[in-house]
Amino acid sequence: MSIQEKVCIRVLGSMIGYAAAEITKFDEDFKNKLEGYEEVIQWKIGDDIAYYTTIKDKTITSGDGIAANPTITLEIDDVSEALNVLIGKSDMSALIGKINIIGGDPQKLLTFSLIMQTVREYLEDLMNQEV
């Protein structure tokens, strides 16, 4: 894994979390999708990339590092594939068999995936252009 890839994953992971938090401020439909959803999702990518997403009370926050009490942990060893998913070059199915899910309800993970799909739609025309 190159240092560039590490930086890109950290930046993109954080940016997606920030974007999701912002969308809850102006999109009521999106906010309502979060109703009753309460999870702390921990991401671990490669050896040393960790960040988490917290969804509670119809708000989203994110942070770097290890969360105190994650309800779901997603471990991905293949950094390059994770980067491809983050930039939209591959979809989540590319991670099937490469992602280790620890704890949590698979159904809630599916709900989370649908939530993130809305975020991706908001960012789509942005991600499809150069940054």
Partner 1 sequence: MERKEFHAKVMFYMMCKSLEEIAKVDEDFQDEIEEFEAKIQWNIVNFKGALVFDKGKFAFVMDDEIEDPDVKFIIDDVDIALAMFKGELDGPSAYMSGDLQIEGNLQAAMMYGSLSDFIAEYLEPIRQPE
Residues of this chain that bind partner 1 (CB under 8 A): 2-8, 10-12, 14-15, 18-19, 22-23, 25-26, 80, 83-84, 87, 89, 122-123, 125-126, 129-131
> Which residues are CB-neighbours of 112 under 8 A, at least 6 positions away?
37, 39, 41, 55, 72
Q: Which is nearer to partner 1, 72 or 82 (CB)?
A: 82
- To partner 1, the closest distance from the beta carbon of 104 in angstroms equals 27
Minimum gap (Å) between residue 81 Cβ and partner 1: 11
**Is residue 49 within 8 Å of residue 65, measured between CB atoms?**
no
Whose Cβ is closer to partner 1: residue 99's or residue 123's?
123
Assess contact for 79 and 43: CB atoms under 8 A.
Answer: no
Q: What CA–CA distance (Å, rounded) separates 93 from 70?
A: 23
The Cα 28–Cα 45 span in angstroms is 31
Task: Kindly state the smallest distance separating residue 71's Cβ from partner 1, in Å.
Answer: 25
Among 70, 120, 74, 67, which Cα is nearest to 96's?
74
Contacts of 117 (CB under 8 A, 6+ apart): none
CB of 6 to partner 1, least distance (A): 7
- Would you say 100 or 117 has its CB closer to partner 1? 117
Q: How far is the CB of 23 from partner 1 (least distance, A)?
A: 8
37 or 122: whose CB is closer to partner 1? 122
Name which of 26 and 107 has its Cβ closer to partner 1: 26
